[in-house]
Structure 1
Amino acid sequence: MEGQGSGKKMILKPLRIISKNLDEEAMLLSPSSRMFHEPNYNVYVLAIMGWKVPINVDSIKAELQSKILKHPRFSSLQVMDESDGGGNMRWVPTTVNIDDHVIVPLQLADNNVDKDELVEDYISNLSTTNVDMSKPLWDFHILNVKTCHAEATSVFRIHHSIGDGVALMSFLLSCFRTTSDPTCLPKLPVFSSSKDKSNLSQTKNRKKNLWQYLVKLWFFIKLLFNTIADVLLFIATALFLKDSQTPFTTTQGFNASARQRYIYRTISLDDVKFIKDVTNAVSIYIIINFSWI
């Protein structure tokens, strides 16, 4: 893992253990988790949250202690096991001190510069440092300064080896409860209408027609052709072709440990709902890609 702190480059390596009798709970990291420890592929997930009221630090610590730490990956170290000669990494449960993970930079409140720029600079500086490998690879930053977006800002920094976006979002939902019943987990809405039922019945009737099978056969042939073409194009790109240049293409000489800038954009949920209604979609997901500048 590579990082940058105090203007100097530093190398953070996993803890190493040599043991022939590892605890059964010390599970191996999955291939995808292990991949995020490869050189120049050290990736963190940053979740930036705005609050309507100033954050109560003690209350946040209590919630993290009761919910986050119940998950094994948030309370385990990632250590290198050399007992088998392969240098595999394992999850090793440990005792977590919540004060080591909740960071409150009090000096921000005493600064007279623009608070919005101050918060953006603080978040950008997080891209130049790494979480210490001697503790679980996550931390929670509380910025109790008022900006044009919120009364306070918090940043959840999680190493990508802990989980991907879907896993982290599912874990986030599991930390909440419904307002109607505090003991129940929130559920994603399921939409059904008479129109869907009528379309289903019509589809069943159309399957009896011969032309319906011919149309399906044509789409299958088209899908098969496009799949073969895409596979051949992928192989050619890996061998000698180059990817097309886009605004998201990584520039030459890109340094993964360089300071990154995060750009904020505010969108209206009414616009998202309008797109959902126009496309007649049951649900819509917003995926945000960051291009390093």
Structure 2
Amino acid sequence: MMTGDHVKASRSSHHDEVPLSPAARFFQAPRFNVYIIAIVGCKTRINTDVVNAGLEKTLVKHPRFSSKMVVDGNKYCKNKKWTQTKVNLEDHIIVPELDPNIEFPDRFVEDYVSNVTRTPLDLSKPLWELHLLNIKTSDAEAVGVFRIHHSMGDGASLISLLLACTRKTSDPEALPSVPVKKGAGSTFNSAAGFWWFFSAIWLFLRLIWNTMVDVLLFVATTLFLKDMKTPIKGAPGVELNVKKFVHRTVSFDDIKLVKNAMNMTVNDVVTGITQAGLSRYLNRRYIHSSCIGEEKKLDGQVKQSNSNIPKGIRLRTVILVNLRKSAGIQVAAAIIRRALSNITMAISGVVGAQEEISFYGHPIDYLAPTIYGFPMSLVVHYQSYANKMTISLSVDPSVIPDPHELCNDIEESLKLIRHAVVNKGFVKDVV
């Protein structure tokens, strides 16, 4: 999910029309039709009337959720704007009648969400909808599915807005608390000042060097530098394929244990377990065409002696941040789309509430957001919530037919890393 284009509320009654921001126009560019999917697992059945009443008092009052996109001009110069409109919740809240005795409810929900993505949202209405599924799954009593067009805002701001519709389960009047990144301390003394000065210069020089390298790599990726063809690399046009969405909930305490023991950040840990999980998954996918412990040619690459994965494999991931104003955004969208097409996957993450919360009186068990519409076959999203971390995968099932296995590999990688940290004495085990 992209950050930097925050959802802003306009309180002036004289501004019924607001031009699309550069980021919003970016996500409305041709062949870049990106949506956010947020699956909410509830601990109780969902009362539709209560949810409708709650939305009327909160989300519907937000300018972006009560605005539709209009297009003026001709084919050579189109001016897109958000225009305030009357919201009819019946057009946005979908409550299908479901058989309570469905044999495989988890699979049904996965198929339901995939089918929802087959059709675009109606541009004549605000670009969001909520599906309420009163069906018991393996990890929830009922499921809510938000679908929101990415042009309405970045992932972090939209999730924050949805969290504003919730309250602490322990205190129905209190908003959820979200952890705030702590700033560095301001302690300074003359003895350390000398070394601090040279450290600052060194960090500045490294920043310049890394920036130059990143720019060169981006240009090369746009022009010719492609990732290797692997079992998880999508073919051209993958963004048009119907996606499948799966998730897995792991212990956030385990992630924080590794983080504290290794003096890392949470992002470092989730990136590490993603890489380890992908290695396990790819090793298994390659096993049908190579033999363990032998060197053998595979697609022109020499595989490692102790692995089925080819040596020198190029498999990159991307996280896009801080999209700023720029002229000619349609040109920018084409360039970025070309670069993304040459990269294998994306990883994103959003910080959630620190305690259990309720959605209009419905206690939440998990929150699993992700996106679709990017020109890649795999997106991995991490969402923290209380003492849990939900891993959400958005995959092209024609490329990754067994996404639950990939979830298993990421979860197992966390367990192995945690065990190694404890076993080597970096931290005492917590029961």
Question: TM-score per shorter chain, which class?
Answer: 0.7 to 0.9
Counterpart of 2:132 in 1: which secondary structure? strand
What's the CA shift for 1:238? 2.3
Cα gap change, 1:186 to 1:113, in 2 (>3 Å)? closer
* Cα distance, 1:246–1:66 mapped onto 2, change above 3 Å: farther
Query: TM-score of the superposition, structure 2-length normalised?
Result: 0.54
1 CA distance for matches of 2:253 and 2:170? 25
Question: Quick one: distance in 1 between partners of 2:42 and 2:152?
Answer: 25
The residue aligned with 2:221 is 237
How far apart are 1:248 and its partner, in Å? 5.7
Cα 1:127–1:206 shift into 2, 3 Å: farther
Pick from 250, 259, 264 the counterpart of residue 276 of structure 1: 259
| Structure 1: distance between partners of 2:73 and 2:54 | 36
The one-character-per-residue Cα deviations of 1:37-72 (angstroms, maximum 9, x if unpaired) are: 222211111100111110001001111111101111
| Contact map agreement 2:166 2:176 (CA 8 A) in 1 | yes
Q: What corresponds to 1:133 in structure 2?
A: 123
AA in 2 matched with 1:76? S
Task: Give the structure 1 partner of residue 145 of structure 2.
Answer: 155
- Distance in 1, matches of 2:166 and 2:102, equals 36
Q: C-alpha distance in 1, partners of 2:238/2:173?
A: 48
The AA in structure 2 aligned to 1:229 is V
Which of 161, 171, 174 is the equivalent residue of 1:171? 161
Larger radius of gyration: 1
2: CA distance, partners of 1:73 / 1:238 = 33
Match of 2:371 in 1: none
How far has the Cα of 1:94 moved from its partner? Answer: 0.8
Aligned mates of 1:283, 1:110 — CA distance in 2: 39
- Equivalent in 65, 75, 78 of residue 74 of structure 1: 65
Distance in 2, matches of 1:148 and 1:252, equals 35
SS at match of 2:145: strand
Residues 204 and 247 (structure 1), Cα distance of their counterparts in 2 relative to 1, 3 Å cut: farther
- Give the counterpart of 1:62 among 53, 76, 82: 53
Residues 214-229 of structure 1: pairs in structure 2 closer than 5 A: 214-229=198-213
Question: Aligned Cα RMSD in Å?
Answer: 3.0
Equivalenced residue count is 263
1:208 corresponds to 2:198: no
CA 279–165 in structure 1, closer or farther in 2 if over 3 Å, else same: farther
TM-score scaled to structure 1, two decimals?
0.77
Q: Which has the higher strand share?
A: 2
5+ residue gaps in structure 2?
A: 1-13, 268-350, 352-381, 384-391, 398-431
Q: How much does 1:131 deviate?
A: 1.7
Quote the residue 1:92 is aligned against.
83
Q: CA deviation at 1:180?
A: 7.6
Question: C-alpha separation between the residues in 1 aligned to 2:110 and 2:144?
Answer: 12
Contact 2:100–2:135 under 8 Å retained in 1: no
Partner of 1:251: 235
Distance 1:28 1:228 in 2: 34
CA contact (8 A) 2:246 2:393 kept: no
Could you tell me the percent identity over the aligned residues?
43
* Higher RCO, 1 vs 2 (CA within 8 Å, ≥6 residues apart): 2
